[in-house]
Amino acid sequence: MSESVNYTRPEREPDESATEERAYSSLRPQFFIPIASPVWARTLLVINLVVFVAMIVYGVLVYDDWDGTTNSLVLTTFGMKVNNLVASGQTWRLFTAMFLHIGVLHLLSNLYALHMLGPLVEGYYGHARFLAIYLVGGLTGSVASYAFSPASSAGASGAIFALIGATTVYFLRYRDNFGARGRAIVQNMFLIIAINLVFGLSVAFIDNWGHMGGLFGGAVLAWALLPRYRPPQTVRLGPQPIEEEPRTVQEIGWVVLGLAGLWFAVQAVTNARLTPF
């Protein structure tokens, strides 16, 4: 005697359906982007704070000035960007100026921005790329300020704008992967850029060239160093970190090329300043 068998899936309660769907999902490959811990972001926070305290102590000991971070002599001693000194050969000031801050509000605003943006950029780009973007972007801001702004300046703002550029580039490139969150981040970055551009053009003591130079340098280098993702060579069931295309040599080449370009730019600006008309 034969018996017919019905293979139609029986009706299930909603809770049963949801449970089964979760079970099926756990069996499918699920890729995620591994997030790096903000090692360098935190280190840079500490470095900026330590330098600020050192400036206060130096101002008190040498000049009996408790507000040494706004004292031009203290700032110059610690490495503020002063165009005529840079032109005379003290090009290291373009680097050291990135770690100096003029007053508490200047320090706190940049540390807050670094606290918010640093873990985001270092998380998605990784430790080495983050440090390269921060330092090279900050140097680009210093070089732009040296080229186009006669005023002495200091601060991590150029490096902070480099992080803004890197954040914008990353979430523009992978906006489809992050959905509404990615679009919101990009919109916020554009809003921050617009506000700072308007504010910088309307306030005399803001180093707008340093900001825009850092933004440009950070965005360009971030695009060159942008992680390129690919599915893992060995796919397994359940959550699995996605892999990156190995491009270490290329990335080092981009960083070296960027630094070389900045060096030639500094030489060109210095020669123009020293050459009589």
Helix axes 157-173, 104-125, angle to 10 degrees: 30
Write down the catalytic residue from 142, 152, 153, 211. 211
Helix axes 157-173, 127-148, angle to 10 degrees: 120
Write down the catalytic residue from 25, 142, 157, 202. 157
- Spell out the residues 6+ positions from residue 198 whose beta carbon is closer than 8 angstroms to its own: none
Q: Beta strands 229-230 and 29-32: pairing type? A: unpaired
Name beta bridge partners: 240. Answer: 31
Query: In this structure, are residues 171 and 178 in contact, taking their beta carbons and an 8 Å threshold?
Result: yes
Query: In this structure, are residues 103 and 62 in contact, taking their beta carbons and an 8 Å threshold?
Result: no
Is 4 in the active site? Answer: no
Both structure tokens of 55: 């400036």
Is 142 in the active site? Answer: no
- Give how far the C-alpha of residue 139 lies from the chain's centroid of Cα atoms, to the nearest Å: 13
Catalytic residues: 157, 211
